[in-house]
Structure 1
Amino acid sequence: MPAKKAYPLRIDQPLFDAIERAAAADLRSVNAEIECLLREALARRGVRLAPAEKRPRGRPAVGKD
């Protein structure tokens, strides 16, 4: 999995609260919601990005010993 860049973000509380509500509605973390919103905004501006890496969902398989 490629490394992700950590970036401290200062954001107004009302905006954070709105993002938090949107994240809960989409069953995402706030961080994932911000990333999704940024990707959508860049796509609307015509900025091309490499597709987001699909991460496996759920619990990892338990190895049989």
Structure 2
Amino acid sequence: MRAIGPSNQILLETVLERVFTIRRITRQDQQLLMSTLLSKEDLNEEERLQISRVFDALQKGLLKVVD
């Protein structure tokens, strides 16, 4: 397994922060989070938890999906 790179980690943090702040997620953001979660890259527990929170919020209707 390869470690998540610094630029990818910053991108992930930026996307997560924006999604939770504005309570909206684009399809592109959703694809990025899904591919990151399903990739073989190492994610720390906090990153996995945050991504899971996004998908839970989507299922509960707490986030709006926009294009």
Measured against the shorter chain, the TM-score band is 0.3 to 0.5
Determine which structure has greater relative contact order: mean sequence separation of CA pairs < 8 Å that are 6+ residues apart, divided by chain length: 2
Normalised to the residue count of structure 2, the TM-score between the two structures is 0.36
Normalised to the residue count of structure 1, the TM-score between the two structures is 0.36
Choose between structure 1 and 2: higher helix proportion. 2
Choose between structure 1 and 2: higher strand proportion. 2
